[in-house]
Amino acid sequence: MVHSLQELRRSASLATKVFVQRDYSDGTTCQFQTKFPPELESRIERQLFEETVKTLNGFYAEAEKIGGSSYLEGCLACATAYFIFLCMETHYEKVLKKISKYIQDQNEKIYAPRGLLLTDPLERGMRVIEISIYEDRCSSGSSSSGSSSSSSGGGGGAGGR
C-alpha cells in the first residue's frame, strides 16, 4: 500500500489511534517515551519509529535548554517589559516551527506510505504524540502493509512481499 499524504486522508479510513505518552523521568521537560507501541508492530520498523521520537525529543530539549542564550533572551525581554515579544519570536517558538516541518517531512516520506499519520504534539497540548493508523478502504486486508518499499509511485497494489 503506497499512499501520499493527501490520498491518505481521502481514500483511507481511520482504523485506530495510538498515543505515545510523555516521559517524565527527566523532570518536567518535554520528552516522549521511545517505547515501541505494539499496535505499530506490523506497520513500521521499530528503528524508524524510535529515530523519529528521539529526534523530536532532541528538538524539545533544544527548545527548553537553559543556558547563556536563553538567559540573554529572558533578560532582554524583561528589560523591555516584555514588549519585545510583539516583534520577536522566542527561541521556543522557532524550534516548534522546526518541529512542525520535521513532522510534516516524516509524514510525507515515511509514515504516509505505511498508512500512518503523526500529529504534532502541539495540537494535543504537548501531552502525547498521536499516531493515526489508517486502513485502505479499497484493499481487502492490511496484511501486506509491512513492506519497506520506498515511496516511489511504481509500487504494486496490494501484492504482499
Partner 1 sequence: MSVMVARKKVVRKWEKLPGRNTFCCDGRIMMARQKGIFYLTLFLILGTCALFFAFECRYLAVQLSPAIPVFAAVLFLFAMATLLRTSFSDPGVIPRALPDEAAFIEMEIEATNGTVPQGQRPPPRIKNFQINNQIVKLKYCYTCKIFRPPRASHCSICDNCVERFDHHCPWVGNCVGKRNYRYFYLFILSLSLLTIYIFTFNIVYVALKSLKIGFLNTLKETPGTVLEVLICFFTLWSVVGLTGFHTFLVALNQTTNEDIKGSWTGKNRVQNPYSHGNIVKNCCEVLCGPLPPSVLDRRGILQQEESTAQEGPCPRAPGTQEPPASQGPGQPQEGAMKQQDGSIPPPSAVPVPSVSDTEMPAEKQRTPGELPVPPLDAGRAEH
Kindly list the residues in this chain that would bind partner 1 in the complex (CB under 8 A).
9, 17-19, 22, 24-28, 30, 63-66, 70-71, 73-75, 78, 81-83, 85-87, 89-93, 96, 122-128, 130
CB of 1 to partner 1, least distance (A): 21
Report DSSP letters for 30-72, one per residue. --B--PPPGGGTTTS-HHHHHHHHHHHHHHHHHHT--SHHHHH
Q: Which of 121, 122, 27, 124 is nearest to 66 (CA)?
A: 27
**Pick 81 or 140: Cβ nearer partner 1:** 81
Asked if residue 119 lies in contact with residue 134, where contact means CB atoms within 8 angstroms, the answer is: no
The CA-based dihedral angle spanning residues 31, 34, 36, 37, taken in that order and rounded to the nearest 10 degrees? -10
Nearer to partner 1, 85 or 150 (CB): 85
Nearest-5° Cα angle at 117, 106 to 115: 100
CB closer to partner 1, 89 vs 149: 89
Residue closer to partner 1 (CB basis): 9 or 144 = 9
Nearer to partner 1, 48 or 126 (CB): 126
Contact 145, 161 (CB under 8 A): no
Residue 111 zone, left/alpha/beta (φ > 0; ψ -120 to 50; rest): alpha
